[in-house]
Amino acid sequence: MKKILPLFVFTASVFMVQPLIANEQFNQGMQQGKANKGQGADAIQGFKPAEVIPGYTTSPSESGYYGGVTSSGVDMTSPGSAALNSSEAGKTITESILNTPANNKPSLDAPFISEGLDMQAKAETITGGGFDGCVDQPASFTEITTHQCLRDTKIEQYCTRTATITGHYEDTTEIKQMVIESSSIQFTENTNAFYGDFKATSGGKVIAASAVYSWNKRLAFSNSNWFMKVTTPFGLISMDDSEGRVTLNSGLDITAGQSLPFSIKNRNNKPAVSSIWYHSNMRYRFTITLTIQVPSRKWVPDVVWSESCPFSKSEGAMTGSQCVEPGGTRTVVVEGKTYSIHQDCWKWQDTYLTQTETEGTCGEYMKDSACTVTRSQCADSVDGFCVSQQVTYSCERKKTGSGQICGGEFFCTDGSCAQGQTGTSNMFGQAVSALAAVAAAGEDVAELNGENVRAFTGEAKSCKKMAAGFNNCCKDSGWGQDVGLSSCSSDEKALGKAKEKKLTVYVGEYCSKKVLGVCLEKKRGYCQFDSKLARIVQEQGRRDQLGVGFGSGKSPDCRGITVDELQRLDFGVMNFSDFYSDLDAGSEIPEDQALLKKAQDIIAEKMKENAP
């Protein structure tokens, strides 16, 4: 009891002396400031920036943009664009714009914005000046936690439909005329006949035949030997008058080049003789005109559409079409003939939505106005398309403490400022999480007792990814109420529940069924673990710290972490934010401020116990 009393007296004395010491130190500082006031002005007047500041110049290149007070200025559009594309700041801004979703705008309720507005509104409290003692002032700071999540990206793919001019032949007929002149037939005579032949110039079916004839009848003097009868393949031409027309028979099929026989006799049915037929005064002549239906073929132009799709159309839903080759009239020449073909559009591009954008495991952070995206990167690419995106969120939570404003300066009285500098009020939770991870690893090692000891071993799981999000057995949330998932297996449903509980690591996507180079079915591979703790250590330790991946989507490598690997892990830098909820569910975890309060209460209690 006697030992405790001096300690208490000494402690009380310290608290009583503190204001006196503070005032004395303030006066000393003020006197030193007055003494050094002139030194600052002298230092400025004698300051030579070129000797102190590296790269200093009185005429920097940027001065070229200033045209003087009366100038309207220099167009900085081009220099600005160049700086945006080449400078690190410009690249950072561009990357932020491209990777930040359009609907991801900071909320005015976010702590970093609302606190700034509060500081603006209460600036008078600090900058008002004067000192009439210390004023109690509440303190506030922001707890920042980071979270990583996965979400599916929106993927649009394209098919093209291209029109090509082709054609085909159709069987048809055409009408031709063939004229046979008697002068083109060389008649010869023998003892039995006076005959000749004609080579057909066309082939086909004779649909009409007629003949005209003429001769110098008056010189015949009714001599029957001078009246001629011409036998043709199409009928008889009887030259009874000095001239006449005869309708001949039709229906005969002839071929091009065929020899058509002709013979001439007189009325006495005797063969004519050359001396009479070719007598110059008699002028015998006949002309046969044949109308022939000639078999033919006609070329008919066709427009054939060909489609090119690098994917199975059943995998998505068409959302629109765009003409990429405008319509018009095109010509093609076949066998010397020109054909004109018109189309309103010669090439279409069809857009298919093959993967819908989903919240994935990011839903809770997207809906929290205090969470903002700090980083976004592609987690997995398939055929050049980013199918899964890893997003890092920074979430802020406002915490309060207490302090005093003395002489325009704020002093913490409860230790909360130290917590504000660390950006977290869950340092105790972080420590417990790290210890829990080490303990869990120890349990795994103790249970195995073998040579190839592994901790935090997971299982490989997979799920089918259906068309454009319809009946998607790989969805990350909403398994309890979606009736469209009846086609999913029990293992796929169990995997969905595990993803909702944050027990899985996404490995990759692959084509599980392909026909003729087109993927008909896709699957996704995951590693599933027994606890969030195992998942965190595997993800942040094995993958991020040691650089050991999880294999491929088709063959996930979910092996445990070896003892050697465990020894190389730094549990202190792991983010156990996702595990805090499990800690809270198991026991009441005090925040740091509560621990400080509890320590103060214990000291006060001990002081009372030892009081005289």
Tokens of residue 203, six digits? 């082939």
**What is the Cα–Cα distance from 393 to 361, expressed in whole angstroms?**
12
pLDDT at position 310 is 84
**What is the Cα–Cα distance from 248 to 308, expressed in whole angstroms?**
62
Residue pLDDT, tens place only, 443-491: 555 555 545 567 888 999 999 876 554 567 887 766 555 545 667 888 9
Measured over the CA atoms of residue 328, residue 334, residue 339 and residue 342, the dihedral's sign is negative
Find tokens 């599933």 and name the residue. Answer: 528
Residue 588 reports pLDDT greater than 50 = no
Tokens of residue 262, six digits? 């002709």
pLDDT at position 265 is 94
What residue ranges in 369-452 does DSSP mark as E strands?
Answer: 371-382, 385-406, 409-412
pLDDT at position 416 is 56
Distances from the Cα of 472 to the Cα of 361, 469, 476, 552, angstroms: 15, 5, 9, 20
pLDDT at position 529 is 93
313 pLDDT tier (thresholds 50, 70, 90) = confident
Please provide the average confidence, as pLDDT, over all residues in the chain. 78
Residue 45 reports pLDDT greater than 90 = no
DSSP secondary structure letters along 101-118: -TT----TTSHHHHHHHH
**What is the Cα–Cα distance from 109 to 374, expressed in whole angstroms?**
18
Mean pLDDT across 521-531:
90
pLDDT at position 464 is 87
Residue 523 reports pLDDT greater than 80 = yes
Residue pLDDT, tens place only, 237-258: 999 999 999 999 999 999 999 9
456 Cβ neighbours under 8 A, 6+ residues apart: 440, 441, 444, 529, 533, 534, 537, 538, 560, 561
Least confidently predicted of 82-91, 292-301, 367-376: 82-91
Least confidently predicted of 38-52, 77-91, 466-480: 38-52
HEC string of 180-242 equals EEHHHCCCEECCCCEEEEEECCCCEEEEEEEEEEECCHHHCCCCHHHCEEEEECCEEEECCCC
Distances from the Cα of 449 to the Cα of 193, 445, 530, angstroms: 124, 6, 20
**Residue 269: how many other CB atoms lie within 10 Å:** 8
Residue 154 reports pLDDT greater than 70 = yes
Mean pLDDT across 494-511:
90
Greatest CA separation found in the chain?
A: 183
Least confidently predicted of 337-351, 457-471, 525-539: 457-471
Least confidently predicted of 12-21, 319-328, 462-471, 501-510: 12-21
**What is the Cα–Cα distance from 292 to 210, expressed in whole angstroms?**
12
pTM higher than the cut 0.75: no
pLDDT at position 417 is 59
User: pLDDT > 70: what percent of the chain?
Assistant: 67
**What is the Cα–Cα distance from 172 to 423, expressed in whole angstroms?**
90
30 or 59: which carries more pLDDT confidence?
A: 59
Residue 437 reports pLDDT greater than 70 = no
Tokens of residue 22, six digits? 């503070």
415 or 281: which carries more pLDDT confidence?
A: 281
